[in-house]
C-alpha cells in the first residue's frame, strides 16, 4: 500500500527532511502494520538527521509513535487488528502514516491514555524511568541535578523524581521555562547561563553536591556536572544537545571523590519483552495516578516535521511535541 512519510537521502539540517510517497509492504513474520495516529518528536531524531548517529541512507526518521494495528504478519499472537498500541525503537521510521514494526515491541495503550499522550510519553517517560530507577536509583531526600528541566524528558523526570522524594535541582534557559520547571516539581532552578552552575548547586546542598547528575546537554556541561557531584556521586551523561562529550581521563573521576560515570541508552534497558512491559507498566502507573502528567505543548502536521526540528533545536519547545499524520 502507498503512504506518506518523511525521509532523508543525505545528512544535514532540517531542510533535508522530505515528505514522500512510500510503499508499505504486507507485515512480515513477527511484524504488525500500524496506522499512526500520533508521532513523538525526540531530540534523537535530530542526531539521526544530522548524521551524529549514522544510519544507512536513504532512511525514514522517528523512534516513537502511537496508532492502531492495521494488519499482522505470520506468527503474531500478542496483538490483533484494531488494537491501540504505542512503541519506541528502531529502525527509525515513525515519521510516517503507516509502517511495519516488530510486534513484540508494541505496548498496549491503557484506556485512560490518549494516542497523543502515549506518543508524547513513551520514549521520554521510559527514559525518565531508567535514569531515576535503574541508572542511579533515587532515594528519598537525594539531591539530584537535571538539565533541560522544562523539556520533554526533563518535564517528566522532574515530576517522577519529585514523586520518588528527591530534592530536584533543574537547569533551564528562560524565566518561562523556570516557571514550568517549578510547576513540574523542581525545588530549585538554576539558569543555564549561570557561569558557576556547580557553585550554585553546592550552595543549595550545604556544600556537599548532588547524588546524581542527569546531563542531556553533553559537551558544554560535562565538567560542570562532575564538579556538582558529591563523593561517590553518579554522572549520567545521556544526551548531546550541545554535541558529544570529549574524551575524559579517569583521574577526573578520582580527584572529585571516586565518582561513577555512565553513558546510558534507553534501548539497553528495554531490550526484552519482559523488561519493556515492566517498564511501561511503571510509567503508566505514575501517569495513571497523576504523579506524572503529560504536557503536549507543540503539535505539527507530519509534513511540517522540518519546522518541528528547527524549533526543538532552537530551544523553543517545552514539554512534549507530537507530529500528526493528516
Ligand X SMILES: NC(=O)c1ccc[n+]([C@@H]2O[C@H](COP(=O)([O-])OP(=O)(O)OC[C@H]3O[C@@H](n4cnc5c(N)ncnc54)[C@H](OP(=O)(O)O)[C@@H]3O)[C@@H](O)[C@H]2O)c1
- Output 89 or 325, the one with its CB closest to ligand X: 89
- Output 170 or 233, the one with its CB closest to ligand X: 170
| Dist CA 185 CA 194 (whole Å) | 21
- Output 20 or 227, the one with its CB closest to ligand X: 227
**SS3 sequence, 138-167?**
CCCCCEEEECCCCCHHHHHHHHHHHHCCCE
Min dist CB 81 to ligand X, Å, is 30
Question: Where are the extended beta strands (E) located within 13-77?
Answer: 18-23, 31-40, 59-60, 64-72
Tell me the CB-side half-sphere exposure of residue 288, using CA atoms within 13 A: 10
Question: Where are the extended beta strands (E) located within 41-110?
Answer: 59-60, 64-72, 84-88, 98-102, 107-108
Min dist CB 183 to ligand X, Å, is 14
- Output 20 or 313, the one with its CB closest to ligand X: 313
- Output 102 or 239, the one with its CB closest to ligand X: 239
- Output 5 or 121, the one with its CB closest to ligand X: 121
Min dist CB 145 to ligand X, Å, is 13
Min dist CB 297 to ligand X, Å, is 9
**Residues in touch with ligand X (CB under 6 A):** 42-44, 124, 127, 148, 150-154, 172-173, 177, 192, 216-217, 238-242, 264-266, 312-313, 315, 317
- Output 3 or 296, the one with its CB closest to ligand X: 296
- Output 42 or 158, the one with its CB closest to ligand X: 42
| Dist CA 108 CA 76 (whole Å) | 15
| Dist CA 109 CA 277 (whole Å) | 12
Angle at 175 between CA 173 and CA 179, to 5 degrees: 110
| Dist CA 286 CA 152 (whole Å) | 16
Min dist CB 242 to ligand X, Å, is 4
Min dist CB 70 to ligand X, Å, is 27
**Who's near 300: CB < 8 A, 6+ residues apart?**
41, 307, 308, 321, 322, 323, 324
Burial of 250 (0-12, 13-18, 19+ CB in 10 A): exposed
Phi, psi (rounded to 5 degrees) for 175: -65, -40
Min dist CB 147 to ligand X, Å, is 7
Min dist CB 290 to ligand X, Å, is 21
Cell of 290: 497523576
Amino acid at each position: 500500500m502507498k503512504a506518506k512519510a518523511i525521509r532523508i537521502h543525505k545528512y544535514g539540517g532540517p531542510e533535508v527532511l522530505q515528505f514522500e510517497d512510500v510503499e508499505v509492504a504486507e507485515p512480515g513474520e513477527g511484524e504488525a502494520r500500524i496506522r499512526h495516529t500520533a508521532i513523538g518528536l525526540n531530540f534523537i531524531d535530530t542526531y539521526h538527521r544530522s548524521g551524529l548517529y549514522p544510519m544507512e541512507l536513504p532512511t525514514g526518521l522517528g523512534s516513537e509513535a502511537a496508532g492502531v494495528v492495521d494488519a499482522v504478519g505470520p506468527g503474531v499472537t500478542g496483538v490483533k487488528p484494531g488494537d491501540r498500541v504505542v512503541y519506541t525503537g528502531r529502525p527509525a521510521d515513525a515519521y510516517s502514516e503507516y509502517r511495519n514494526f516488530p510486534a513484540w515491541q508494541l505496548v498496549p495503550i491503557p484506556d485512560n491514555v490518549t494516542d497523543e499522550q502515549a506518543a508524547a510519553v513513551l520514549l521520554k517517560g521510559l527514559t525518565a524511568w531508567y535514569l531515576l530507577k535503574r541508572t542511579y536509583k533515587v532515594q528519598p531526600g537525594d539531591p539530584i541535578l537535571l538539565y533541560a528541566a522544562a523539556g520533554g524528558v526533563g518535564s517528566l523526570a522532574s515530576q517522577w523524581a519529585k514523586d520518588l522524594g528527591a530534592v530536584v535541582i533543574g537547569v533551564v534557559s528562560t524565566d518561562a521555562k523556570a516557571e514550568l520547571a517549578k510547576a513540574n516539581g523542581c525545588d530549585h532552578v538554576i539558569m543555564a547561563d549561570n557561569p558557576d552552575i556547580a557553585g550554585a548547586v553546592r550552595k543549595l546542598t550545604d556544600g556537599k553536591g548532588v547524588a546524581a547528575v542527569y546531563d542531556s546537554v553533553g559537551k558544554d556541561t560535562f565538567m560542570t556536572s562532575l564538579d556538582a557531584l558529591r563523593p561517590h556521586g553518579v554522572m549520567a551523561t545521556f544526551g548531546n544537545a550541545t554535541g558529544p562529550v570529549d574524551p575524559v581521563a579517569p583521574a577526573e573521576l578520582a580527584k572529585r571523590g571516586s565518582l561513577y560515570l555512565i553513558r546510558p541508552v534507553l534501548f539497553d534497558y528495554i531490550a526484552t519483552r519482559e523488561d519493556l512491559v515492566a517498564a511501561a507498566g511503571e510509567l503508566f502507573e505514575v501517569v495513571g495516578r497523576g504523579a506524572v502528567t503529560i504536557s503536549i505543548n507543540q503539535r505539527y502536521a507530519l509534513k511540517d516535521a522540518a519546522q518541528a526540528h528547527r524549533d526543538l533545536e532552537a530551544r523553543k519547545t517545552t514539554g512534549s511535541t507530537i507530529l500528526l499524520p493528516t
